[in-house]
A and B are shown apart, each in its own frame.
Chain A
Amino acid sequence: MSLLKEPDFGTPARPGEATVELTIDGVSVAVPPGTSVMRAAKQAGLDIPKLCATDSLEAFGSCRLCIVEIDGARGTPASCTTPVAPGMVVRTQNEKLGKLRRGVMELYISDHPLDCLTCSANGDCELQDMAGVTGLREVRYGSGVEAGANHMSAPTDDSNPYFSFEESKCIACSRCVRACDEVQGTLALTIEGRGFDSRVAAGAGVSFMDSDCVSCGACVQACPTATLQEKSVIELGMPTRSVITTCAYCGVGCSFKAELRGDELVRMVPYKDGGANEGHSCVKGRFAFGYASHPDRVMEPMVRDSIADEWRKVSWDEAIGFTARRLREIQAEHGPGSIGAITSSRTTNEEVYAVQKMVRAVFGNNNVDTCARVCHSPTGYGLKQTFGESAGTQDFSSVEEADVILVIGANPTDGHPVFASRMKKRLRQGAKLIVVDPRRIDLVRSPHIEAQHHLQLAPGTNVAVVNAFAHVVVTEGLVDRPFVEERCEDFEQWEHFISGPEHSPEAVEAATGVPAEEMRAAARLYATGGNGAIYYGLGVTEHSQGSTTVMGMANLAMATGNIGRRGVGVNPLRGQNNVQGSCDMGSFPHELPGYRHVSDDGARDVYEQLWGTPILNEPGLRIPNMFDAAIDGSFRALFVQGEDIAQSDPNIQHVHAALAALDLVVVQDLFENETAKFAHVLLPGTSFLEKDGTFTNAERRINRVRPVMAPMTGKQEWEIICEISQAMGYPMHYDSASQIMDEIAITTPTFAGVSFDHLDKVGSVQWPCNLEAPNGTPIMHSEEFTRGKGRFMETMYVPTTERSTRKYPLILTTGRILSQYNVGAQTRRTANVAWHPEDILELHPHDAEVRGIENDDMVALSSRVGRTTLRAVLSERMPVGVCYTTFHHPVTGANVITTDNSDWATNCPEYKVTAVQVDLVVEPSAAKEEPATVAVGN
């Protein structure tokens, strides 16, 4: 598939029926009310010249190239700012219009370098195109210096690692400024000065790098000239072909055009028709793809008998044979349940499906788990219990109809930036915002956005706050009774439970630290403010009561009738690109693909018939259980697909002890990661640019991942799984990834209508996709819940056992930032390190002062399980008593600190609450483990 330039309609589409009929250059066209004449003309197949207009931005009307004549109207109005009217007769081309346009072009060109042949945008420059379209043959004023005053000597800003701002080529069309405002919502850019002195500026007299710019690339994409240009295009030249694929970073799952010259990737450009992102991007997806060709990549299989040995590079046959032989030997000695696997949310649905099939059909057990265990497993549990389906309820565009947005434990501007831009757009339009977060995240107050309520709760008290909301709803008569009576069950029991005085805002004020009246006001706003939409992240799930909070939010949405239509819902913001998919594909040890329990005879029978082998009807080990079982000796071998559990999982000392106790660790990854230090086999993986398959994002959208290039290692990852299975004696074979999806479709009811052909035809679908919904289901539970009636669940608040003490008086919470991604394996190998070269500890100035800590001091961070050092930054974003860090850099080892406390229902780690002490240190040191704490068998 090759597509470099999508059609540009000049101005955004308007909703509604095409009821306005008009005639443009003799062509009749009907469009929705509010549509611009420019867009109507494009829909009629007529291109009107333009420079300042593009359909991702509202009309601006500054360039005057798009002028038209309209019968009955005076002068020559701009077609971009003129809305259509019934019966309107428009002319876009005649001698007068042509002359006016050429006059405009002469002025532009007189102050623009005429270096087209050597310009990096040659062939992709709208100014160049318009010179041709308008028939410009001369510039009466001359060009550059000879034309008089000009901007030719304006300096170039190369401060951003990914793009250049060559001001001398700027035509001051404001597209970049408007893109930053309207699309990204950061408002970092401005037009400085007036008249001839007008110039684009990133903040007040600072470079792009030093400004508020978040490097999303929207300005670069909007620029019609070479003024804002990717450095990769400047260095490598204009791409010549394009492959539409899906980003491999967060759970937004943006669609991109991977643009190449030959086999060399030049740039990633967000795809306008991508359902998740609709043409927008962030700094990671847009620019941070260099890791895929980083010299650190492992390109050949390696094995060793002991982790004390050096690696031996071997052939694929030897690596696969070694792996298969050792797995069978270990099973023969220690039993069929002594081995297992961990799947990754960074691999495709097809790759995950192959691994869980290998575990169930070849290993003969259910010891398969996925990295969602440590992020969103409570989402799967909580939503399944209440709604009957382990997935979010909405599509992303639903937020455009939300009136009240409740953000709990999520930091979308950093973690899910492209969705955050959609959300911010809606907030700028007037939707109300409630933020529930210990930190004052950017959303609380940013340009043109201010939360009506920021409930700065104590970490670990989510359930108390959500219950208090529900208490207010029930006791103040705010329940949507008709919805509850028609759609839900177990309400009366729950109503009695939640009405209890122990759940009132006043009762939980002391524990949560949130003023009761603020909780009441926020709850009333959510319940009565129109469409109420809940968005949440790992600040909900990574707690000892993560599943309880998810169920509490579901209760709240059902009680207020905020479920089953656009603008409402309960929406998990998934951490990694394929968290949803890896869970869908049966990589939980108690669930087959499609979230069917392994004890379900009917579901098991489907696979037993197809795979020709029995499947165990008892759950297998979860990841933390695997570690415990490794230490007790009953679990001896682990296959790890694309995850760095030795860095990302909590209480690293315990994880390291478990990995060291295993007889065989097989790691399949792009890099020799921290887990590989404990591995006996290292199987090189493929980057997303080489994969062929699908990812499923946080809105259940199944997107194609198309190979931009052949696998650098010679094999797709699912092929390796098949070969290991074959070497273990089970005939697993597929000709292609699409065959795997076909098998998924015939065995998984929610995927019954999914195929690569269908996805190629319609772009993407949101499951359930089947006979009833051949093009997918953007909004779930619209007529009835998946389980029939929505079920209210009792959600008792039980404080975590992790408490601050005299020895560890602060609470540490962890998270991630915009420029880095999880353990940093990808982003640390890109220029994104310019923004975040090390993990830092944010703490409140008061907590710093009493410890004698100043900005940039190195501090020791210690908990009851470990200690590390990192740099401190004082920040009033933090409440007193709470500090925060990221886990992007292995040298810091933030998870040396975190404990093995976990969600009671799913064992998702309690990353967000760790009692710690912070002390000033003089000399930095690497992460320091305290093995003595490991010997407790936890």
Chain B
Amino acid sequence: MSATLLPPQVRLANEIARQFAHRPPADAATAIANHIRAVWDPRMKKALLEAVDAGNEDLDPVAALAAEQLRPAAQ
């Protein structure tokens, strides 16, 4: 329930990351990044990267790895 206190992009990225938690982190990050790339509006990707850059501790580490893969497309 604490998820509702998170910024939307962090909450959504974490929700996606939970689905891939059984995969090796690198594979999971790629799958998460591919999904986000396919369906997220650019401003959401930007907000996610800002959360990464701000060191948001609530962001799932694998989601943060995925966000790094989005960086070239978002800038």
Interface, chain A (partner B; CB < 8 A): 337, 366-367, 544-545, 548, 589-590, 597, 599, 618-622, 625, 628-629, 634, 796, 798, 801-802, 805, 864-865, 899-902, 904-907, 933, 936-938
Contact = CB atoms under 8 A, between A and B. Distances in A.
A798 B18 contact: yes
13 contacts: A548-B19, A619-B39, A621-B41, A621-B43, A634-B43, A796-B22, A801-B1, A801-B3, A805-B1, A864-B4, A865-B4, A905-B39, A907-B12
Contacts of B21: 796, 798
Given A337-B41, A597-B38, A904 B19 contact: yes
A599 B42 CA distance: 13
Nearest to A933: B4
A622 B40 CA distance: 8
Given A618-B41, A622-B41, A801-B3, 18 more contacts: A337-B41, A337-B42, A548-B19, A589-B41, A619-B38, A619-B41, A621-B43, A622-B39, A625-B40, A625-B41, A625-B44, A629-B41, A805-B1, A901-B3, A906-B39, A937-B5, A938-B4, A938-B5
B35 interface: yes
B15 A904 contact: yes
B58 to A, nearest CB: 12
Contacts of B3: 801, 901, 938
A629 B39 contact: no
B42 A625 contact: no
B41 A900 contact: no
Give the interface SS of chain A, mostly helix, strand, loop or mixed.
loop
Contacts of B35: 905
B64 interface: no
A805 B2 CA distance: 13
Interface of B: 1, 3-8, 11-12, 15-16, 18-22, 35, 38-44
Contacts of B11: 938
A805 B21 CA distance: 25
A937 B7 contact: yes
B5 A544 contact: no
B1 A625 contact: no
Contacts of B42: 337, 618
B41 A937 contact: no
A798 B19 CA distance: 6
A936 B5 contact: yes
Contacts of A905: 16, 19, 35, 39
Nearest 5 CB-CB pairs, A to B? A628-B8, A938-B4, A904-B15, A621-B41, A796-B22
Given A589-B41, A620-B41, A904 B18 contact: yes
Give the interface SS of chain B, mostly helix, strand, loop or mixed.
helix
A801 B44 CA distance: 22
B50 to A, nearest CB: 12
A590 B39 CA distance: 6
B75 to A, nearest CB: 13
Contacts of A801: 1, 3
A933 B6 CA distance: 13
A899 B4 contact: yes
B7 to A, nearest CB: 6
B1 A937 contact: no
A550 B18 CA distance: 18
A904 B16 contact: yes
A907 B12 CA distance: 8
Contact of A544 (B7, B15, B38, B43): B15
Nearest to A337: B43
A357 to B, nearest CB: 19
Nearest to B42: A618
A114 to B, nearest CB: 70
A265 B41 CA distance: 46
Contacts of B7: 937
Nearest to A635: B43
Contacts of A933: 4
Nearest to A381: B39
Contact of B19 (A618, A796, A937): A796
A695 B44 CA distance: 33
A337 B40 CA distance: 13
Contact of B43 (A629, A864, A904): A629
B38 to A, nearest CB: 6
Contacts of A621: 41, 43-44
A236 B44 CA distance: 57
A590 B4 contact: no
Contacts of A337: 41-43
B27 to A, nearest CB: 11
B41 to A, nearest CB: 5
A838 B3 CA distance: 33
B12 to A, nearest CB: 7
A223 B42 CA distance: 61
Nearest to B45: A618
Contacts of A805: 1
Nearest to B12: A907
A551 to B, nearest CB: 11
A590 B42 CA distance: 11
A490 to B, nearest CB: 14
A619 B40 contact: yes
A905 B12 CA distance: 9
Contact of A802 (B1, B5, B43): B1
A482 B39 CA distance: 36
Contacts of A589: 39, 41
A337 B8 CA distance: 18
A896 B69 CA distance: 38
Among A619, A796, A933: residue with most chain B CB under 10 A: A619
A548 B22 CA distance: 14
Contact of B4 (A544, A900, A904): A900
A12 B20 CA distance: 53
Nearest to A335: B43
A590 to B, nearest CB: 5
A938 B22 contact: no
A938 B8 contact: yes
Among A590, A798, A904: residue with most chain B CB under 10 A: A904
A367 B41 CA distance: 8
Contacts of B22: 796
